[in-house]
Amino acid sequence: MNRSKSSKLFVALATIFILHNVIGETVHAGASPAVGTVQKMSGPASIVRQGQTISASVGQEIFENDILQTGRDGSMGVVFSDETLLSLGPESVLVVDQYVFAPRQGKFSIVLKMLRGTAAYLSGLISKLTPESAHFETPSASIGIRGTHFVVKVEEK
């Protein structure tokens, strides 16, 4: 490899590196890892992250504090890293309020806040390993989960 080629390569790599970091930072400030991925969706569905609305797509990562929302005829299914399965029906809004799955440090927490619409929840390892750290909340109730499967509807007034 001659000199000019290798310096071009260096510049290209450096650019990729910087871009990657800059984009990474703006998309998700801080180093917290993704907590889940979108595995299914249809119709209008989006994610609100730090005030910005991103339309959802299969394979897209989910982070703590994301707001998941679906429009008319929309639906979305998410797999969390502990294998909790969450899906939303149409016209639904749900906040991923807290999510920590660090089994080797013994740290677990999943708190989902449903504001509107319909959802199905199938619990994963967090509620298996430490049931008291799994909560599903609506504006008027809190649902404690002992390893199970349920559906919720929240009607907005």
Partner 1 sequence: MKQWKIFLVVFALLDLTVGCSAKRDVIVPPPESRNPVIASPTNRDLIVLLPDPDGKVGTIRVTTKGGSQTLDKPGHATQVEHVNEPSTDPKPLGEREITSVFGAALSAQPDLKARFVSFVLLFDRDTTNLTHDSKKMLPEVVRTIRNRKPSEVYVTGHTDRVGAADYNLTLSSRRADTVRDFLVSTGVTSSALVVSFHGESMPLVHTEDEVAEPRNRRVEVIVR
Between CA 9 and CA 63 the distance in angstroms is 33
Q: Which is nearer to partner 1, 24 or 43 (CB)?
A: 43
Name which position in 34, 48, 65, 89 contacts partner 1 (CB under 8 A).
89
Contacts of 3 (CB under 8 A, 6+ apart): none
User: Alpha carbon of 156 to those of 10, 86, 93, 138: distances in Å?
Assistant: 55, 20, 11, 11
Number of residues located near partner 1, criterion CB under 8 A: 52
Q: Does 129 bind partner 1 (CB under 8 A)?
A: yes
Q: Report how far residue 62's alpha carbon sits from residue 34's, in angstroms, rounded to the nearest whole number.
A: 6
135, 80, 91: which is closest to 113 by C-alpha? 135
- Closer to partner 1 by Cβ: residue 110 or 152: 152
Task: Decide if residue 87 touches partner 1 (CB under 8 A).
Answer: yes
Considering only residues 95 to 114 of the shown chain, the ones binding partner 1 according to CB under 8 A are 103-104, 106
Which residues of this chain interact with partner 1, rule CB under 8 A?
39-42, 75-79, 83, 85, 87-90, 92, 103-104, 106, 116, 118-120, 122-125, 128-132, 138-157
